[in-house]
Amino acid sequence: MMKIGITGQNGFIGNHLFTTLSLDDTIELIHFERHFFEQEDVLQTFVSHCDVIVHLAAMNRHENPQVIYDTNVSLVSKLISACEKTNSTPHIIFSSSSQELQDNLYGQSKKEGKALLEKWALHSKGKITSLTIPNVFGPFGKPNYNSFIATFCYKLTHNEVPEVHVDSNVNLIYINELVATCIAVIKGTIDTIEFNTSCFDYVVPHTSSNKVSHILNLLITFKEDYLMKGIFPSLEDPFEKALFNTFRCYIPENHFPVRFQKHTDPRGSFVEIARTNTSGQFSFSTTVPGITRGNHFHTRKAERFAVISGKALIQLRKIGTNKVIDYYLDGEHPAYVDMPIWYTHNIKNIGDTELVTLFWINEPYNPEDADTYFETV
């Protein structure tokens, strides 16, 4: 098994990379915590166990740019020192930035860190691959830190007003796409450029390019149609689908369950389950009392659970965390809960009658590419 460690594994990119790699049974993940950098012996143990180290730990923002530079260069120096003292020669994958070419201390810290790693690789017979990464967005990014998209999503879902300060065209990559690239580099299935013995470069291509104002307008549409009316947008365009899945993760958990509007007359009642501007698959299930269905998660699918008869407990838990979210639904008041990506979820019949649940998902089930991973809530 390939042994992989990720510095910064709890950060935005690191967490996504860690959780995705954890689904691969040919890989053993070596756990990392930020305090390892302050404990030489612990850091040395970490590097000595790794075949590959993805170095993502870095400071991106601080009121004093010099602190950013000093911190980032220091982290690289400590990593190199630990490798030298243990005679470890892992393949180090270094997350650089296009800002290497710009006149700012963050960019200079990346340029200097890369140079230090190159020197180490040449003298130690180790290997380094530098990834120049464009602007990254995706679920669970930190507002006002990781991405302007995270900031926009948070503000729109929390009744704040986002502002466009510079309406420039921005090159972007979705986090799932970046993770796929990182894994390809780890496994050697992508062509990198050798610029010196044991030193390689790869410029990660952006996958979309949009003006900031256009992105904000799309997010406003998501708020107006999906958040306020429950209408799923078109999910045919890869960028818009990625943006929608990003937007959904910022919706406060108390937004759900959402009650349907029930139309009743002497004939009975009528409820619209889902209105969409995209394709998908409808299905239903019946569940006997005491039985639980589900306990799985998706990394790209949008899914709705609608309880129309009986009593249910729907539970969600974000992968890698312990907090369980409970939603209680009763068919007397039909309601729905939408499943965010990277949240394992289930539904249990907690009543004494049969539970009837309707499901909508944006992709018909494909056993060759199910995007369904089983994990108990």
At residue 102, the pLDDT reads 80
Nearest CA among 280, 284, 301, 282 for reference residue 345 = 301
Kindly state the tokens that stand for 195: 């610029």
- The class (CATH top level) of 253-374 is mainly beta
The CB-side HSE value for 243 (13 A sphere, CA atoms) comes to 30
* CA dist., res. 291 & res. 371, Å (int): 24
Distances (CA, A) of 165 to 99, 148, 219: 20, 10, 16
Residues of the chain with pLDDT under 50: none
Domain ranges of the chain: 2-133, 253-374
Which residues, in sequence order, are bridge partners of residue 131?
Answer: 95, 202
At residue 141, the pLDDT reads 96
At residue 196, the pLDDT reads 77
CB-CB contact of 200 with 122 (8 Å): no
- Homologous superfamily of 2-133: NAD(P)-binding Rossmann-like Domain (3.40.50.720)
Per the listing, tokens 């269905």 go with 293
3-state secondary structure the chain: CEEEEEECCCCHHHHHHHHHHCCCCCEEEECCCHHHHHCHHHHHHHHHCCCEEEECCCCCCCCCHHHHHHHHHHHHHHHHHHHHHCCCCCEEEEEEEHHHHCCCHHHHHHHHHHHHHHHHHHHHCCEEEEEEECEEECCCCCCCCCCHHHHHHHHHHCCCCCCCCCCCEEEEEEHHHHHHHHHHHHHCCCCCEEEECCEEEEECCCCEEEEHHHHHHHHHHHHHHHHHHCEECCCCCHHHHHHHHHHHCCCCHHHCCEECCEEEECCEEEECCCEECCCCEEEEEEECCCCEEEEEECCCCCEEEEEEECEEEEEEEECCCCCCEEEEEECCCCEEEEECCCEEEEEEECCCCCEEEEEEECCCCCCCCCCCEECCC
